[in-house]
């Protein structure tokens, strides 16, 4: 297990557009593993490569149903909307209200560079949008309605 250093908001790298991944080299495989470890370590449900300082179109997501690796992901359809609080590992302790589509369909490539499509609703749709935004140099704070506020985490019993 290797944890990578998470870049914090203000870091110029988070504002840059990422480059496509052409092939999954051993280095990329290692990066994916490290990103998953880093995401789980931070109790995140998604992490994009630029957040660990790598300007590649690559993200990982796990909303509790197992890890999803997204290479060169793109939203190809969306529907409805949901409004709610969002947080980001690059801005710990804060949250802000963001409206996202309720449903999105994405296309992406997996670790064997096989193309796949995937649909998501609610949290999964939100996570897809949030991570894909990172790959284009955007943070959720650009989209918040109302002020950024201190995060209150739900406690488990």
Partner 1 sequence: MIDMGSDRINSRELVLDVLLAVTRDGEYSHIVIRNTLDKYRYLSKQERSFMKRLCEGTLEHMIWIDYVLNQFSSVPVNKMKPVIRCILRSSVYELKYMNAVPVSATCNEAVKLAQKRGFRNLKGFVNGVLRNISRNLDAVVLPDRESKPLEYLSVVYSMPIWILELWQNSYTMEQIEGFLEGFLAEMPTAIRVNPLKTTKEELEKELKAVQVQVRETELEDVLFIDNYDSLERIPAFAAGKFHVQDLSSMQVGLWANPPKGSYVLDVCAAPGGKSLQMAELMQGTGRVEARDLTEHKVLLIQENLRRCQLSNICAIQADARKLDESILEKADFVIADLPCSGLGVIGKKSDIKYKINKKSCEELAALQREILHTVGQYVKPGGILIYSTCTINPGENEENVAWFLKEHPEFYLEKQQQLLPQKGICDGFFLAKMGKR
DSSP 56: B
- The minimum distance between CB 47 and partner 1, in angstroms, equals 8
Binding mask 40-69 for partner 1 (x = CB under 8 A): --xxxxxx-------------x-xx-----
Answer for which of 70, 130, 135, 144 binds partner 1 (CB under 8 A) is 130
User: Which one of residues 70, 108, 127, 144 is an interface residue with partner 1 (CB under 8 A)?
Assistant: 127
Are 55 and 136 spatial neighbours (Cβ–Cβ below 8 Å)?
Answer: no
Can residue 8 be called a binding residue for partner 1 (CB under 8 A)? no
Catalytic residue ranges? 131
Buried b (16+ CB within 10 A) or exposed e, 15-45: eeebeebeebeeebeebbebbbbbbbeeebb
| Closest C-alpha among 105, 109, 6, 113 to residue 54 | 6
List residues binding partner 1 (CB under 8 A): 42-47, 61, 63-64, 82-89, 95, 122-123, 126-127, 130-131, 140, 151, 153-154, 156-157
């Amino acid at each position: 297990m290797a944890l990578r250093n998470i870049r914090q908001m203000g870091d110029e790298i988070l504002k840059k557009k990422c480059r496509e991944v052409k092939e999954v080299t051993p280095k990329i495989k290692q990066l994916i593993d490290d990103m998953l470890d880093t995401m789980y370590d931070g109790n995140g449900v998604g992490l994009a490569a630029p957040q660990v300082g790598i300007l590649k179109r690559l993200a990982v997501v796990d909303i509790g149903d197992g890890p999803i690796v997204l290479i060169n992901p793109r939203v190809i359809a969306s529907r409805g909307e949901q409004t709610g609080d969002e947080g980001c590992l690059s801005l710990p302790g804060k949250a802000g209200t963001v409206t996202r589509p309720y449903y999105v369909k994405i296309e992406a490539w997996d670790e064997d560079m096989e193309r796949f499509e995937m649909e998501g609703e609610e949290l999964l749709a939100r996570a897809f949008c949030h991570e894909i935004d990172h790959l284009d140099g955007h943070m959720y704070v650009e989209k918040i309605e109302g002020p950024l506020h201190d995060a209150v985490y739900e406690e488990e019993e």
